Structure 1
Amino acid sequence: MSWTPSRADFDTYMLPTYAPQNVIPVRGEGSRLWDREGREFIDFAGGIAVNALGHCHPRLVEALKAQADKVWHLSNVYTNEPALRLARWLVEHTFADKVFLCSSGGEANEAAFKLVRRYAHDMHGEHKQKIISFRQAFHGRTFFTVSVGGQPKYSQGFGPVPGGIEHAEFNDLDSVRALIDDQTCAVVVEPIQGESGVRPADPEFLRGLRELCDQHQALLVFDEVQCGAGRTGSLYAYMEYGVVPDVLTTAKAIGGGFPLAAMLTTDEIGKVFVVGTHGSTYGGNALASAVGLAAMETIGSSEVLDGVASRHALFRRHLEALGERYGVFSQVRGKGLLIGAELAEPYAERGRDILEASIEEGLMLLVAGPGVLRFTPSLVITPAEIEEGMVRLDRALARIAG
């Protein structure tokens, strides 16, 4: 039976957890996509910071095809070469000694939160189980991760939330001092809060968290699911801040579009995760790991990382000019190619309208809540594609302003 799916079919067959745009892309190359009618779109969304090397990057396609003829999946009853190669690469290029591979950022954070509690339990006793996170944080969609995340809308209506979690104010070290004590097992923070509007941490704030954790024998967890893997222009954002966490979670860009994530930690902390304490059926999947290694080797090259700063400057220059022209942005912020443009009055609640106008003009972008436009394009998007995308955004904003 011949059948061409439509946007209306989403409402028929899929749970209504999303409200996707009407466009259905069917082909991508680099930072451009095409729908069934051949309409072209420039991609400033990057799959929400996933497609760090764009669509169908030749090196990733080659890695996928080569591994597809070998082994796809074994489960963790066995191991496989691609998983070991990826884990070794991550260890050699970060602070970590040990890696846990899984399939999503939520899984990586779930593993991290279980790890810090298990470590505190085994090293200090049952009383040390409090996790401090931050309001407006986002750490995933499992029940534990939405509870640690500081946005109640994601946990309300699902019954009692896990206990032992408290929320401080992001970039407010005094609010952490008021909560942290000898019962605290960990402080969990995004170096750049993405979901809540692309808000970078102040360097002194992260340094202060490191000091407080050391004083109270608590672990410091960096959630770099969105801001990691080259997004800021360093391999991981902690490298720019000069603050080394005890645990780091990474996903999105690490697979270049293939579902992949990892939790990184040290030998000392990782020793409490003995056989049977945690697991993932798909963790270390051979196909995902092969693609992930190709993605990280490419992202980690000086050619890619060194190019992020100039692309950031080009984005910022255009966004600030558009903000002045239409009075639409009150602030442009972020690091590297994780950029947020906060909408000024009277546009503050019209993020979705701008997305829809942009699609009509052939541009894909994101929001972070109703009041911030979010830009997470490929790290290798060309300057010409940035220029063309900004022309299309200009036309979209003219529609809204007009």
Structure 2
Amino acid sequence: MQVSIACTEQNLRSRSSEDRLCGPRPGPGGGNGGPGSGGHGNPPGSGGSGPKARVALIPRPPVPAGALRESTGRGTGMKYRNLGKSGLRVSCLGLGTWVTFGSQISDETAEDVLTVAYEHGVNLFDTTEIYAAGNALRLQASPRPCHCHSTSLHVPCPCRAETERGLSRKHIIEGLRGSLERLQLGYVDIVFASRSDPNSPMEEIVRAMTYVINQGLALYWGTSRWSAMEIMEAYSMARQFNLIPPVCEQAEPHLFQREKVEMQLPELYHKIGVGSVTWSPLAYSLITSKYDGRVPDACRATIKGYQWLKDKMQSEDGKKQQARITDLLPIAHQLGCTVGQLAIAWCLRSEGVSSVLLGVSSAEQLMEHLGALQVLSQLTPQIVMEIDALLGNKSHSKK
């Protein structure tokens, strides 16, 4: 089981505004933590309103059929989309700190990456407790008022006992509260749950997620690496018992893994409004032209614990994929971009994708990946057809 947490701009603004969605922070007079306090409490509520009143304020406006509503950030060029068919706006490129804030880079580099991300309009950050996620919130008092942070609680860690894993009500609630305390936040905007334990009943999961929202610990919840059938089951369960359904799915699509994002997620988006936040658009950095048939010394595959990635790169399938990447170089040169930028833009074009999470190890690498925004506008249907022809793995409906 994995629980991920996403926090929007309201976690980082001053808590004096009256339009907050969660209840008051415990304490005398309902005080709250401002930007200079080093932490953030719950925003003030409206005169002691209870949990039900808070849930009623969470907007889910109807969205016309078709592409996600999109706008461009002034001065940054960043594009913003609705998270599924909810009213939450997120940058179409987010920062996944699974790599960025891992132990392999320094705190100073992590802060440099965050600074570049803020300055270029990124407002969605995904962190995780087992990869030094605390670094991701060190700049939470930044003057930019539009930051979205997220964090992941990897409960199915191999070092944990069987009784400490799963999506039980106990683990969801205690895991979320523990993460909020560690991150010094009063609430988060999205909490994601990874469906890796079939022993957790679906009704218990949906009720637990509804509970944390009712308690003001989160505003939305989503799924992570769930099948379309499981997502539909959760949605039906929520409607049957008047609970809160998920709004998005975390998935791992890239040029060599396409079926879910092309065939399943768009259908979920149109039927029940579930969008997607995708990660690893470069397939753990496999989609790059820098390898050239070998594994360079300065590569993630050489990091301790990433032997599986090195083995994958050197496998028969890995070599075939590298050959396909080489075939894409002429298209990348035609568009004036790198293969990595082309791959990220390709992920962004998928229907229903709200944001693509980037994994970087330096500010320079982040700057390069952000250049995919300019490539996105150049991906005409003709170029997409050329990419499909070179890859030879286009998803087709089973109907």
TM-score relative to the length of structure 2: 0.30
Higher relative contact order (Cα pairs below 8 Å, separated by 6+ residues) = 1
TM-score relative to the length of structure 1: 0.30
